[in-house]
Amino acid sequence: MKISNTHPLVGTWITDEEDSDAAFVIKVSRGHFVVTGFSQSTGEKFKITKHRRRL
């Protein structure tokens, strides 16, 4: 099942936790989700590991 660019998870997600400035970007590439994350204050990119495909 291919995922559409209009899926509700697609976009930038920003935490509302006061002690965190993490942001995650969810995109679709070739019908699959691609997730990246970064610190809003420093721009440091997160290493995303141990993800699962579940549809």
What's the pTM value of the predicted model, to 2 decimals?
A: 0.79
- Which pLDDT belongs to residue 55? 56
Q: Kindly calculate the radius of gyration of the chain based on its CA atoms and give it in whole angstroms.
A: 12
Q: What is the pLDDT of residue 53?
A: 67
**Mode of pairing for the β-strands spanning 22-29 and 32-39:** antiparallel
Contact 24, 33 (CB under 8 A): no
Q: What is the DSSP letter of 20?
A: -
User: Which tokens belong to 12?
Assistant: 């930038």
**pLDDT in the model for residue 19:** 87
pLDDT tens digits for range 2-54: 899 999 999 999 988 888 999 999 999 999 899 999 999 999 999 988 877 66
Q: What is the pLDDT of residue 49?
A: 86
DSSP 22-52: EEEEEEEETTEEEEEEEETTT-PBPPP-S--
**Domain ranges in the chain?**
1-48
